[in-house]
Amino acid sequence: MAVWVEADLCNGCKLCLRSCPYDAIELIDGKAKILERCTSCGACLEVCKVEAIKTDLKPREIPDFRQWQGVWVFAEQRQGRLVPVVLELLGKAQDLASELGQETAAILLGHQMAESAETLLGYGAQKVYLVDSPELATYRTLPYTSVIEQLIKKYKPSIFLMGATHIGRDLAPRVSRRVGAGLTADCTELTIDAEEKILLQTRPAFGGNVMATIANRFSRPQMATVRPGIMESKEKHTQGQIIEEKVELRPEEFGTEVLEVVKEERKRVDLSQAKVIVAGGRGVGHRGGFGHLEELARLLGGEVAGTRVAVEEGWIPPDRQVGQTGQSVRPELYVACGISGAIQHRAGMMNSRYIIAINKDERAPIFQVADWGIVGDLHEIVPELIQRLREGG
């Protein structure tokens, strides 16, 4: 099973060299040669106009997935309360299910969760698969994995979405391994391909320098985790069903016993719920520079945030970082002060309704996504804004 070049046919056009994502082709004496690091991905076969590149690999057949139907959301709960990302995912699930002509459903695991099940119906779930057991009240990896595996194999959903929370990031890869499906983590966008009717999953790649779109054609369900704050919840009261499921829970599957749940006393800032955010980047220059940003945020009734640089320099605490390695937000107003707009940061704030950018560099990438841009020194502009707000102007 290999890929090779028929030297007599090769004209040395170099198209295959440029197409190879693994740099596994080189030109020797004007002829292309396949190197050992070739993965047989087939990219070179598609671009060779003289058909000099040959392979004995057979195209992989796409299985018949017509029996796999429905868009599912894992309804994560902590201490009996649904986490906000669940309702956000249900909002997106409604859109995806509508395009596919399928149902939206949620899986809820816990104890005495009837009220939460009704809430899920109020946010667009047409079915809620409820597994109620005292042993599921607190999250534990193995029993949760086992229950979800049983439900997936029983009902065969086409798409399964989870929040990219601490629990979701622990649970999703285990479930995907159990059911033999692929998984795309930390997605920022989910759409349906109009022709193939499959899920297109977009996420940052190569350190956030590019946005990769991934499709799963060969296994089901199509699984993805989505960071909180990316999607938008939509209330939609439906005449749905709550289906109580009885599943087998074997003691040997638990692995651990929860003796006590201890909550951290330090209050973490949840920027995903803020309506207004004033954020600072490298251009702020020092910790004292955030004083004006904090005052502007206070006057606007919002929160202050920053980029990774601001966190690394110690200007703001880590829980106020926005971006690929921080929080994802979607406020009504996002004021970016001294932020160049690298893709890693934009990935966390692109869904803001309105964006105002203040930067001395008129070529800064942040202006490409801003609704309003101010070219100038933030240390002059922000104090002026504060003064105007105080005066009520």
Flag whether 18 is in a domain.
Answer: yes
Lowest-pLDDT range of 64-73, 83-92, 264-273: 264-273
Query: Domain count of the chain?
Result: 3
pLDDT digits (tens, 9 = 90+) for 232-287: 888 877 688 999 998 877 777 777 777 777 776 656 778 888 999 999 999 999 99
Dump the DSSP string for 142-180. HHHHHHHHHHHHHH--SEEEEE-SHHHHHHHHHHHHHHT
- Domain holding 130: CATH number? 3.40.50.620
CB burial of residue 34 (10 Å; 0-12, 13-18, 19+): buried
Same domain, 236 and 113: yes
Same domain, 104 and 248: yes
Same domain, 286 and 314: yes
DSSP E strand stretches across 321-392? 333-337, 354-359, 372-375
Average pLDDT over residues 166-192: 94
Flag whether 117 is in a domain.
Answer: yes
Same domain, 103 and 185: yes
Model confidence at 370: pLDDT above 90: yes
Average pLDDT over residues 71-92: 94
Top mean pLDDT of 58-72, 92-106, 254-268 is at: 92-106
- Domain holding 17: CATH number? 3.30.70.20
Whether 131 and 147 have beta carbons less than 8 Å apart is answered as yes
Q: What is the pTM of this model?
A: 0.75
Same domain, 246 and 337: no
- A 10 A CB-CB count for 156 gives 15
Flag whether 63 is in a domain.
Answer: no
Flag whether 243 is in a domain.
Answer: yes
At residue 106 the predicted structure's pLDDT band, cuts being 50, 70 and 90, is very high
Residue of 254 and 359 predicted with greater confidence? 359
Dump the DSSP string for 204-244. EETTTTEEEEEE--SSSSEEEEE-TTSS----B----EEEE
Supply the pLDDT for residue 207.
61
Flag whether 261 is in a domain.
Answer: no
Same domain, 111 and 208: yes
Residue of 37 and 160 predicted with greater confidence? 160
- Domain holding 301: CATH number? 3.40.50.1220
Question: Containing domain of residue 44, as a range?
Answer: 3-55
Same domain, 196 and 330: no
Three-class HEC string of 259-318: CCCCCCCCCCCCHHHCCEEEEECHHHCCHHHHHHHHHHHHHCCCEEEECHHHHHCCCCCH
Structure tokens at 286: 């020092």
Same domain, 132 and 233: yes
Largest CA distance in the chain: 80
Flag whether 179 is in a domain.
Answer: yes
Flag whether 110 is in a domain.
Answer: yes
Flag whether 154 is in a domain.
Answer: yes
**Average pLDDT value over all residues in the chain:** 90
Residues 6+ apart with CB under 8 A from 59: none
Report which of 221, 216, 246, 226 is spatially closest to residue 348, judged by C-alpha positions.
226
If you ran DSSP here, which 8-state letter would residue 363 be given?
A: T
